[in-house]
């Protein structure tokens, strides 16, 4: 599966994954989407974007044309 990542213009931690680089199926009323990168590796998808269920991503892209996820915080505030 080739995937294309698009970042939200309103929130940099919200990412939409699509099957097309242009992102025609992305919801336009909520955000403007900025293309970021493409990939074919499911491992890269899991590690770079923190995706836990690749099958859910495939189902959403097949059904809706996109899958929206949110990057988890990598660094936390010191105690």
Q: Which domain holds residue 55?
A: 3-70
Q: Does residue 47 lie in a domain region?
A: yes
The pLDDT value given to residue 12: 80
Q: Does residue 11 lie in a domain region?
A: yes
Tell me, letter by letter, the H, E, C secondary structure of the chain. Answer: CCEEEEEECCCCCEEEEECCCCCCCCCCCCCCEEEEEEECCHHHHHHHHCCCCHHHHHHHHHHHCEEEEECCCCCCCCC
Does pLDDT of 18 surpass 90? yes
Provide the percentage of residues in the chain whose pLDDT is more than 90.
33
Q: Does residue 75 lie in a domain region?
A: no
pLDDT in tens, 27-61: 887 678 999 889 888 888 888 888 888 899 999 99
Q: Which residues have C-beta within 8 Å of that of residue 44, sequence separation ≥ 6?
A: none
Q: Does residue 52 lie in a domain region?
A: yes
Does pLDDT of 62 surpass 80? yes
């Amino acid at each position: 599966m080739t995937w294309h990542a698009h970042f939200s213009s309103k929130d940099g931690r919200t990412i939409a994954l699509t099957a097309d680089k242009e992102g025609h199926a992305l919801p336009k009323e909520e955000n403007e989407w900025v293309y970021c990168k493409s990939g074919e590796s499911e491992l890269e998808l899991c590690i770079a974007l923190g995706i836990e269920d690749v099958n859910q991503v495939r189902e959403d892209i097949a059904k809706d044309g996109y899958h929206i996820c949110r990057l988890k915080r990598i660094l936390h505030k010191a105690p």
